[in-house]
Homo-oligomer: A and B are copies of this chain.
Amino acid sequence: MSGRTVTIAQVAKHAGVAVSTVSYVLSGKRTISADTRRRVLDSISALGYHPNAGARALASKRSNVIALVLPLRAGMHVPVLMRFASAVVTAARRFDHDVLLLTADEGTQGIRRVAASALVDALVLMDVELDDRRVPLLRELAEPSVLIGFPAEPAGLTCVDLDFAAAGARCVEHLAERGHEEIALLGAASVVYDRGTGFATRTREGFVEALDDHGLKGVALPCEETFDEVYETVRDLLLDRPGLSGLVVHNEAAVSHVLAALRQLGRRVPDDMAVVAICPDDVAERAGPPLTSVLIPAEEVGREAVRLVMEKLEGRTVPDSTLLTPLLAVRAST
């Protein structure tokens, strides 16, 4: 192994070459003969050499670290967040980058700090609000960034997300195909709409528009996340709309409560009430009965965000807006 922290100079000596040669072997920025390369690589593994990140960052002006700015706020469904985060980390590693975790409670301060100190090369922000304080800062930053989600004014930014409007519409379409004529959307908690979080609003718009297109009756309601509130909402909904036979649920935390409430109100799924969820696959599969759902492709979104940010780091131009097409998986609930 190592006697203590091995440097490139020791590798160079061990291999009988210049320091710069070792560097070029590692970066591949100049051609190196196969023979020399082998000797260097052998020395590297013999000594257990790992380049010092600080020195490398200082000399190359690249830290090989990207920041992931998480929200961690009320109304966000955390497991979904984590899947994004995990996807971002995995994707970043594939580009030989690490991920620095920034939480929103440090606010714009933290973003400015890690950018100005060159701790990170680029940023990926999650859970962007329609009117997000962080957005103006991003515009003035030299470091490239990618948003997961869309602010109200996305000009000049790079944004990725599931096409939630299409997702809402897709659910309507599916229920229409199944012959339902009156349906309802149970959406996010009202605080999420109030905050103007884009995905909730866009799903609702897609839902409402599709209602029209297919000539269905229906309504879109916010949906809180305690059992009692969900129960009330569902009960009132059934009372108000006796013809209702289909439900779209876009709220991971409320899914199991909705199902429990229906059960308690004597409605069988799918016989009396068809249910479509917009949620991650595992939530849909784990429910009783397993739910027909439009999955939130967290892995894909995270991967795409990283790909885009890497493209920008290379100086290439990328599309302002990337919308991923929703996919509907039919299960037992419709």
Q: Mark A309-325, 1 if CB is under 8 A from B, else 0.
A: 00000000000000000
List the B side residues contacting A70 at CB < 8 Å.
86
Copies in the complex: 2
How far is A57 from B55 in the complex, measured between Cα atoms in Å?
8
A154 within 8 A of B: no
Inter-subunit contact A82/B90 (CB<8 Å): no
A51 within 8 A of B: yes
How far is A277 from B154 in the complex, measured between Cα atoms in Å?
44
Within 8 A of B (CB), among A112-126: 113-114, 116-119
A68 within 8 A of B: yes
Partner of A100, one of B51, B101, B256, B263: B101
How far is A288 from B259 in the complex, measured between Cα atoms in Å?
13
Partner of A117, one of B52, B100, B103, B227: B52
Inter-subunit contact A89/B63 (CB<8 Å): no
Q: Mark A154-198, 1 if CB is under 8 A from B, else 0.
A: 000000000000000000000000000000000000000000000
How far is A68 from B100 in the complex, measured between Cα atoms in Å?
10
With both beta carbons as reference points, the residue of chain B lying nearest to A290 in the complex is identified as: B226
Inter-subunit contact B52/A58 (CB<8 Å): yes
List the B side residues contacting A228 at CB < 8 Å.
288
- Chain B nearest CB from A330 CB (Å) reads 18
What are 8 A-B residue pairs whose CB atoms fall within 8 Å in the complex?
Answer: A50-B113, A50-B116, A54-B58, A58-B58, A70-B86, A225-B286, A227-B287, A260-B260
